[in-house]
Structure 1
Amino acid sequence: MAEQAFTLDDLRLILIEAAGADDSYQVGGDILDTDFEQLGYESLALLETGGRIEREYHISLDEEILSIANTPRMLIDAVNNSLAALI
């Protein structure tokens, strides 16, 4: 069975669905370590994002993870760790 990976592209699509996105930010390595607040996403938007990730990927993310993971890279890593635990 192939391992499913959660990517920056996946996160960007979910962020757009959950809270809208500023198209001036291009998907790329330069935003991976940018704080979500600097990208314009507040805690409620991230909670909605977390809920969408859980539903779409059939995982459970601890609410603490959503408050600690303050950059796209940290959230992507947390999601991929949860996905890896399913295998």
Structure 2
Amino acid sequence: MSTFDLDELRGILRRMGGVDEAALDGDIAETEFSHLGCDSLALLELCNQVERRYSVQISDDAVSDMPTPARAVAYINSLLTAKAGT
């Protein structure tokens, strides 16, 4: 089973561009995405990137369940776990 971690999330955000890269350094796990320079469109693009890379489906409504990188990582890992169990 694949796992998703904070470094993977950070890498996707850096590759997407439009995010203040300096804000991604350090411990960002509990920092709200809005404080990292990510708006709702950036979060949707993050979800699109994860969907393509990991073959999971993230609903648009799920973005509100992922206000921080830590919550996003946990949510994405729950999808990967469910996928592995099917």
Fold match (TM-score > 0.5): yes
- Sequence identity of aligned pairs in percent? 37
Stretches of structure 1 lacking an aligned partner (at least 5 in a row): none
Q: TM-score, normalised by structure 2?
A: 0.87
Q: Is contact 2:14–2:21 with CA below 8 Å preserved after alignment?
A: no
Match of 2:79 among 78, 82, 85: 82
Secondary structure at the counterpart of residue 34 of structure 1: coil
1 or 2, which has the higher helix percentage? 2
**Letter of the structure 1 residue corresponding to residue 31 of structure 2:** T
Q: Distance in 2 between matches of 1:35 and 1:79?
A: 17
Please tell me whether the aligned partners of residues 29 and 68 of structure 2 are also in contact (alpha carbons under 8 angstroms): yes
Unaligned segments of structure 2, at least 5 residues: none
Equivalent pairs, count: 83
Distance in 2, Cα, partners of 1:53 & 1:73: 15
Question: TM-score if structure 1 supplies the norm length?
Answer: 0.86
Equivalent pair of 1:19/1:45 in contact (CA under 8 Å): no
- What RMSD in Å do the two structures reach over aligned CA positions? 1.3
Structure 1 stretches of at least 4 aligned residues deviating more than 4 Å after TM superposition: none
Tell me which residue corresponds to 1:7.
5
